[in-house]
Amino acid sequence: MGDFLAGWYPWVKSLHVVSVISWMAGLFYLPRLFVYHVEGLKKSGVIRGSEMDLLFQHQERLLLRAIMNPAMIATWVFGLMLVFTPGIVDWTSPWVWTKAAGITGMTWFHHWLGYRRKEFIEGTNTRSGQTYRLMNEVPTVCMLVIVFSVIVKF
């Protein structure tokens, strides 16, 4: 298995990077949709508000299910393939563990967003646009931890 992974390393690494970019795009955009969802409904009338609510729910569902979930899964699959490629990971280096912490935080955030989407569907969202703006910084922090861990190897 190791020889196979070593031979395919450039392809797996490329697919991993593409998957990460797709996942990050969704992690940045879905909280922004939540901001527009919360604040747009406050500004609209009752009839138009229910139409807007359904439109936002549709957009949020498509983003999560068609882009973010597959991208997260692909990121994990290709990332694990890289981890198991011989000679790539030195398990005694701290960067491996700081990167793992960043990935764990990003995965947690992904699932947190999924739960918030369910609240919008159920009509039980109590969070403000400001909360979603603040939470939109989580993937940035995780990304910085991951990138500096891998490149600087701290």
Q: Is the distance from CB of 71 to CB of 27 less than 8 angstroms?
A: no
CA 119/CA 138 separation, integer angstroms = 20
Any idea which residue has 């979930």 for tokens? 69
DSSP classification of residue 86: T
CA 4/CA 124 separation, integer angstroms = 49
Spell out the alpha helix ranges (H) of 44-128. 46-62, 69-83, 94-122
Question: Which range, of 4-8, 42-46, 68-72, 73-77, averages the lowest pLDDT?
Answer: 42-46
Any idea which residue has 């190897």 for tokens? 153
> For the residues 21-46, what does the mean pLDDT come to?
89
pLDDT number for residue 50: 84
| Helix or strand holding residue 149 (H, E) | helix 138-152
Predicted model pTM: 0.91
pLDDT band at 115 (very low <50, low <70, confident <90, very high): very high
pLDDT number for residue 4: 81
Distance (Å) of CA 41 to CA 8, 34, 76, 136: 49, 11, 36, 20
44-63 tens-digit pLDDT: 665 556 888 899 999 999 99
Give the mean pLDDT of the chain.
93
Tokens of 146: 């991951």
pLDDT band at 42 (very low <50, low <70, confident <90, very high): confident
